[in-house]
Amino acid sequence: MRACPGEVVTTESLVVFEDVWYQYPSGITALRGISLEFRRGELVAIVGANGSGKTTLIKHLNGLLKPSRGRVLVFGVDTRKSNVARLARHVGLVFQNPLNQFFADTVWDEVAFALKNFEGRVNSEKILGVLRELGIDHLKDRSPFEASLGEQKRVALASILVYEPEILALDEPTAGLDYRSKMTLLSILLKLRREGRTVILVSHDLEFIARARIDRLIVLSEGKVVFDGNPREAFYNPELLVASCLIPPQIPRLFIRLGLDGSSTPLNEEEAYVDLRKLGVGVHVDRGG
């Protein structure tokens, strides 16, 4: 079995969930005894059906929600004894709908907002740096409402990245994005990971996750963690995924149907190509790519 392409995943736990239960005021119990750790420098994906508790879980990372039972420690601090403003400095949350946060006249001001709140002043170099990195510097004087959805999602991401939180959690970052925007997002995430930041990806876009070379996969089902480990193991276990209302990505599904999963477990077409060549399948065609 292939190792994950991780560089350095230290064992330092930044966030610890200890038997966390959460019940909404409406009476719905969204989390049922979650115990998890998020370590420095790992790229983790959290998957699960609609209503499995994914968003509720990440809202616990910066104290937007506090556990009804159990506790959440962020850098050793119990979230119940802290507040969102303090926790959000370390944990950046990027929400699904960018329109839920745009209010400024320009993209520049939008990105400067968190910086002003957390650092009390605007560092132009930082803002420009982030805008360039995400390829949206040409939008800086335009209104965030005029941008396309892909660009809006990047503006929302920039407005969090700019203050450099150690932990970054993204809720459904690929929803509504075209292929190219997804690949841009992926390269940004991998770069953050290389910088040693913890990235938590919440999604049910399993094809994207299979491409994302994540270190660890967490499967949620009805408020419980039903899997936490190597994504390869989960993606080659259709029973587990189907029981959680998910379906494995296409390449694992194909390899399972062909009965090849005993000898090779690729996650995406890149890996499948290499494995199939090793098995002597197909003729090498050089397409100049």
Partner 1 sequence: MWIEEVSRALLYERGNTFLHRLDPRVKLAYIAVSALMMFLTENPVSLLALLVLHVLLAGLGGLASKVLSLLKGLALFIITIMALNTVLTYFFSFIDPLSLALAFYGMVVRAVVVLAMFTIFVSTTSPHELTQALMRLGLSRGYAYSMVVAFRFIPIIFAEMRDIYDAQRSRGLELEKGSPLGRIRKLAPIIIPSIVCALLRSKDIAESMESRAFGACEKRTFYRPIRVRVLDAVFITAVLLLQVLCVYPDIVFRIAGVG
- Tokens in use for 5? 């392409």
64 touches partner 1 by CB under 8 A: yes
| Integer Cα distance of 144 and 113 in angstroms | 13
Task: Check residue 50 for interaction with partner 1 (CB under 8 A).
Answer: no
Give residue 255's identity as a one-letter amino acid code. F
Task: Answer yes or no whether residue 273 interacts with partner 1 by CB under 8 A.
Answer: no
Please give the Cα distance from 50 to 267 (Å, whole number): 23
Which amino acid is located at 113 in the chain? F
| Residue 28 or 242 with smaller CB distance to partner 1 | 28
Among 17, 102, 236, 255, binds partner 1 (CB under 8 A): 102
Confirm or reject binding of residue 173 to partner 1 (CB under 8 A). no
Residue from 101, 181, 221, 265 in contact with partner 1 (CB under 8 A): 101
Distance between alpha carbon 96 and the CA centroid of its chain, in Å?
Answer: 11
DSSP structural state of residue 187: H
Total residues contacting partner 1 (rule CB under 8 A)? 26
Per rule CB under 8 A, is residue 62 in the interface with partner 1?
Answer: yes
- C-alpha 175 chain-centroid distance: 12
Residue 84, interface with partner 1 (CB under 8 A)?
A: yes
Binding piece for partner 1, criterion CB under 8 A, among 46-54, 96-104, 177-185, 259-267: 96-104
The single-letter DSSP state of residue 243 is H
Q: Looking at beta carbons only, is 131 or 206 nearer to partner 1?
A: 131
Q: Hey, which residues between 104 and 163 contact partner 1 (CB under 8 A)? A: 113-114, 117-118, 145, 159-160, 163
Pairing of strands 43-48, 29-39: unpaired
Task: Pick the closer one to partner 1 by CB: 10 or 83.
Answer: 83
Task: Please provide the distance, in angstroms rounded to a whole number, between the alpha carbons at the two ends of the chain.
Answer: 27
Contact between 244 and partner 1 per CB under 8 A: no
Q: Which residue's CB is nearer to partner 1, number 64 or number 190?
A: 64
Residue where the block lists tokens 């499995």: 52
Nearer to partner 1, 65 or 206 (CB): 65
Query: If binding is defined by CB under 8 A, does position 93 make contact with partner 1?
Result: yes
Measured distance CA(180)–CA(16) in Å, rounded: 35
Residue 26 touches partner 1, criterion: CB under 8 A: yes
Q: Are 222 and 53 within 8 A, CB to CB?
A: yes
When the beta carbons of 84 and 190 are compared against partner 1, the nearer one is 84
Calpha distance 23→15 (Å, rounded): 21
Options 97-105, 195-203, 211-219, 252-260: segment touching partner 1 (CB under 8 A): 97-105
Select from 90-98, 184-192, 195-203, 273-281 the region that touches partner 1 (CB under 8 A).
90-98
One DSSP character per residue, 3-54 reads PP--S-----EEEEEEEEEEE-TTS-EEEEEEEEEEETT-EEEEEE-TTSSH
Residues forming contacts to partner 1 in the complex (CB under 8 A) are 25-26, 59, 62, 64, 84-85, 88-89, 92-93, 95, 97, 99-103, 113-114, 117-118, 145, 159-160, 163
